[in-house]
Amino acid sequence: MAKFENQTQLLEEREPKIDSCDSLPGDIIQNIFTFLPIKHAIVTATTVSPTFKKSWRHNRRLLFDRDLCFRYSQQNLAAIVDHLFNKHEGDEIKTFVLHIDPVGIEALLKRWLQICTKKDVEDLELSFYQPGFTIESTVFNALHKLKTLKLVQCVIQLPDVPSGLQLLQKLKLANLHITEEMFGMLIEHCKMLEIIVLINCSTIKKLKLIARENKYFKNLRIDCCEDLEEIEIDSPTLRSIFYYGKFPIVQIAQGMQLYDALFRFTPSKEYMQSTQLEALAKDFSHVSILTTTPQLIEVYINKHTFILIYLPFHYLLFYIITYKLYHAIHLYFF
């Protein structure tokens, strides 16, 4: 027993001594608290020391996610958010995430967004559970530091020539209307874009991703955009495409070297013309890894191209593989 106690004491003596947080400068501790998510910052600050009880007022990460939305009623959640904005004393709000029903609190939402723009928000996520709120062009013009933007089920009014959004890197739009002109403006203006995600976005029929001047764009995802009929892509840096929906006309510029492309087509009874299949096969020649929906019924072979057509039940789905000399393509099936 004595030997064990001596060994334990020896280990304790060798361990580095860690001072309590009270010995740290107050400004450092307060700065640490400002980077915690708001609900953790409030709890932590009040349990560590009474000195930092109000450090949450300088918090930079205002996160009100789905968990809070389901836990509180709309009225109570809006009151909590409004209280925090009213008491906020910091110079910055790095992140603002809000999941809420917007109906009836439109004035509050506009005021919160105005505060965020003044405090140089970098990550903004607004997920509304029903339509009814419009984000006006003045908001987009004021987002000079924004890097990530996620909007769900709202109306967006983009300016023709926005003065903000120059630093935008990640864009996700879901369950809202977007036109060809709006999408084109975003591509032309946001030169730092790396990722675009469109989910259940209506109205847009032709998506033109002409981004030759964009040196950072890497990933495009299009999911269930029912009105979309045509996709045109000319982006030298693009490496990955995910598409799920009905069969569109796809045009991929020559010279592009896509690494990964996933095309999942929803069932259709419409007849697919061979010219459409051959055109898509030519575009797929630029892809290293191609993933799509299976069930082979026919193989058409010519000098450079294998065309595999799939027919699950009475719906026509197809899969096209272009195989050229010295160009190996890896295949993955669902």
- Tell me the per-residue pLDDT of 145-169, one tens digit each, with 9 for 90 and over: 999 999 999 999 999 888 899 999 9
Banded model confidence at residue 334, pLDDT cuts 50, 70, 90:
very low
Q: What is the pTM of this model?
A: 0.77
- Tell me the per-residue pLDDT of 277-297, one tens digit each, with 9 for 90 and over: 666 666 776 788 877 765 323
- Most confident by average pLDDT, 23-27, 86-90, 193-197, 296-300: 193-197
Nearest one of 140, 132, 131 to 160, comparing CA atoms: 140
Q: Does 9 have pLDDT greater than 90?
A: no
Q: Does 191 have pLDDT greater than 80?
A: yes
Q: What percent of the chain has pLDDT over 90?
A: 47
CA distance 10 to 77: 53
For the chain, the domains span 24-294
Banded model confidence at residue 90, pLDDT cuts 50, 70, 90:
confident
The architecture that CATH gives domain 24-294 is Alpha-Beta Horseshoe (3.80)
Place of tokens 């109906």: 103
